[in-house]
Amino acid sequence: MNLQLELEDVGKRDFTDPDQYLFRDVNAIIEEPSIIHIIGLSGQGKSTLLRILGRLTPFDEGRISLQGRSIHEWPTETWRAAVSYVAQQAVMLPGSIEENLKVVSQIHQKPFDRDHARQLMRHAGLEELDWDKEASQLSGGQKQRLALVRTLLLRPQVLLLDEITASLDIHSQHAVEELLVHLHREEGTTMLWVTHHLEQARRCGQRIWFMAESTILEDTPGETFFQSPRTELARQFLLIGKESQMEGSEAHV
């Protein structure tokens, strides 16, 4: 089944001032599996856009469709299994690691694939964990990776990733990146991935959505964006990001 996710003139009003827009006139079409990084200054609504696509937050204007069917024509749980959201702050359900892994199968009435779960846990660097351990006892980074694995068990067409490596150490961050890139290549999973790490977007992203001026200001291939952004705002954004990275490197010398 071909993927076609389309956003047409999507708008969301500001949460604190309904007369203002967080973003509007957002237009994009994803016709082929892609890894798309969503970047931009804070306050542009990047995370809100992901939550809208995950049917966790309503939008105020426009149309969103998947495979030619409006988001409103899809049963909510069916949509969420196909277009799945992973939050920056992982939420663990009461119970063990195994119970957390099984919950998606229970919700969506699918058999639990234990072998697939073990494979994903291994790729996420969690193979040594005792599945009987209470999920609440895990570290923040372990919870984040477990939440990702839990979502991957749905085998979604589209993954909505909200800064999911922000709390991870470098080793775990790279392990997650490798897992997601492998998943994209092997299963054709599309990823909409909000990140503040420009090097991560450069490493993994095939396409960039740069959000500024309350919309997607640039939608371009990753290499093109980083080498020759079209707008002055994007050039300034990349310059500030480069300077911040250099300051961070100097701080660790």
Q: Quick check: 146 and 126 in contact, CB under 8 A? A: yes
Instruction: For residues 183 and 203, give the distance between their C-alpha atoms in angstroms, rounded to a whole number.
Output: 15
Q: Which residues 6+ apart lie within 8 Å of 108 measured at CB?
A: 77, 81, 154
Q: Which residues of 79-97 are buried (b: 16+ CB within 10 A; e: fewer)?
A: bbbbbbbbbbebebeeebb
Length of the chain: 253
Distance of CA 213 to the CA centre of its chain: 22
Is the separation of the CB atoms in 50 and 24 below 8 Å? no
State residue 253's pLDDT score: 35
- Predicted local distance difference test score (pLDDT) of residue 151: 94
For 97, the enclosing helix (H) or strand (E) is helix 97-107
Q: Could you list the pLDDT tens digit for every one of the 253 residues in the chain?
A: 467 899 999 999 998 888 899 999 999 999 999 999 999 988 999 999 999 999 999 999 999 999 999 999 999 999 999 999 999 888 899 999 999 999 988 888 888 999 999 999 999 999 999 999 999 999 999 999 999 999 999 999 999 999 999 888 998 899 899 999 999 999 999 999 999 999 999 999 899 999 999 999 999 999 999 999 999 999 999 988 776 654 544 433 3
CATH code of domain 5-90+156-251: 3.40.50.300
Residues 157 and 190 sit within 8 Å (Cβ to Cβ): yes
Query: What pLDDT is stored for residue 18 in this prediction?
Result: 84
**For the chain, which residues make up each domain, given as ranges?**
5-90+156-251
Q: Which residue has the tokens 């993994």?
A: 204
pTM reported for the whole predicted model = 0.91
pLDDT score of 167:
83
